[in-house]
Chain A
């Protein structure tokens, strides 16, 4: 049996690094030299190390970012919904250009990848408050009001949930009537082992994309002898086109918190942490309020849920703009106040996770599902879905369709049905599970969406999003958008991903100009395959997925883009040019 949990655990000071940096960023608009030096002294580390952390996260700046810091989303869905016009409107109205602050220091304009609002694009964050469904007139209005001194928080939008479809006959798992604490009441009678058995029976698998059986993670952590264990909720939702976790946290935060408490009880942890992406600052107060409500009722704190000796509390850690921090070991590094570089996989987080203690990391949807499974019972959960893939799944739908939003589908629904439900308009290229997923054509619309058959590739395993593009859309542009994203977000510590994403982007730019031939196309694919096979973490392993599947499935489309007169570049090595810098370097 696991040892008794130590009750007075103090997280080391360095874990406060990101919070401190956020404080400076928000109070002063940037992190100045004094702040940086102060932090180095406070944490007993060198200044360059603090600088290294700051420069890793794109929401932290070393130069002023303006009284109003505006982040406009440049994801592909934004692009097809009018990004270019909005970008121009912002520049016109503020007098700043993107990447800079205007001369008066009032407006700072920046670009950022998907902010989790793909169902209401174009969208932007102003001082991290959301502004959705932008058009040129709206931008003009917002900026003029800000100039008058109106606070962004008083005019921002409240993003709607857009829950478009819920399965009939009370089969909904996530959106059924929610009553705080219903599931928690069942914990004690089930006991830790009973909970894990129930989750096992439900066949719940991780909803963060890897589909690892949830019970196995919990069981493995439970078995670890350790003085301290942690429950971490991955609310980094960085995959472009995905916004299901946003909706869950916006309207069902209690369910996520409940799931974490249940997990904490099952594995014997006393501390939970929600790693919330910086893009979701506007959700923080909501979650904070839910946590407070739980504390008041006695669902968080000491001896909670009327279980003697069960102490558990949860805090929120804000991320600061880094997709790779959604990768579980990078997330742990980030929680520890470091650069978000994925760890070398000597251990699984369930063995040595946060601060080297056994840690369960699950996605928001996974915790919500776990809570509902305990509430309704695994048998009821298994009523929906198909054999081998029971239950329901949240899918974020965006792009060229009438009804973008959240669809709670039963596993086993076909692509055709989903396209029908969302009113897809002349779908041609469909991106499943985000840029790191795969693309499919309309010919594949009779494939089922499930967790099954990964190898036979009959069904489609969907991590959480469908981005739909019609025939008018430029596929090369879509892929370029993805590759630019991966290049920006690669942490850069391993060679294939650092160099691979760079080269893929360059090649695609050439393809866009038509300066490409069949050999180039095959070469592009080989770079992608190599990156996939050799990268250190999931980012590099999946970054070329859509590219590779697109080259296979839309081959004719690419061929049609070739410039007929192009017959290869002259790539002779220019020794004179290469050695011209000798005198310069010699110094």
Chain B
């Protein structure tokens, strides 16, 4: 909680894990500078700086109520925000309504494994508006999603409301995948899921990052985050208080300082 910790550890950047993948998504950097988010008059995110490079996985960790969800929702355009800079691949997102941000390549998997329970699994996937105009990039189709998540292929014609928690989260990730984002954001993707399922999802996320997609995820529980992330931010009361690489973040003293209640 000491302000002194804001003098953060060195940010090691040029550390792209799978450097040579043959097929890559069109790549784009997310740049956030001075982000403020509001619910009506009450401000919940303050002057936040953050960036996610193509192919990089970034985790934002913090206690319950720290502002993680609000931050993602602000980037997605669902929560009102003001920023000095909010761009993806140089494209200014700040003026776009949320549905246009999706088309610009931002995809958010909200917390709670949400899907459309009254639609079938197949309808859930086939209704996604893919940001098609990815010149030169790979493009995932619904069939590719079924290959990645064979369980879903078997449940194709079942209504999503009948799926288990793990299956619903796979569906949520599959939906994000077929949207072909350049930036994939996930809000507490491991929340309430069995370790086996979390492992599977971690693998998918690493593959997507390997194809050049930037990943920005939040967690209260650092298990999945530290397994997938290259870089970590800790936030408290809507402000960034620590930034560094995942190995440094995994240090028990760091974790206990920013996450223990």
Tell me, yes or no, whether A binds B: no
Q: Which A residues lie at the B interface, using CB under 8 A? A: none
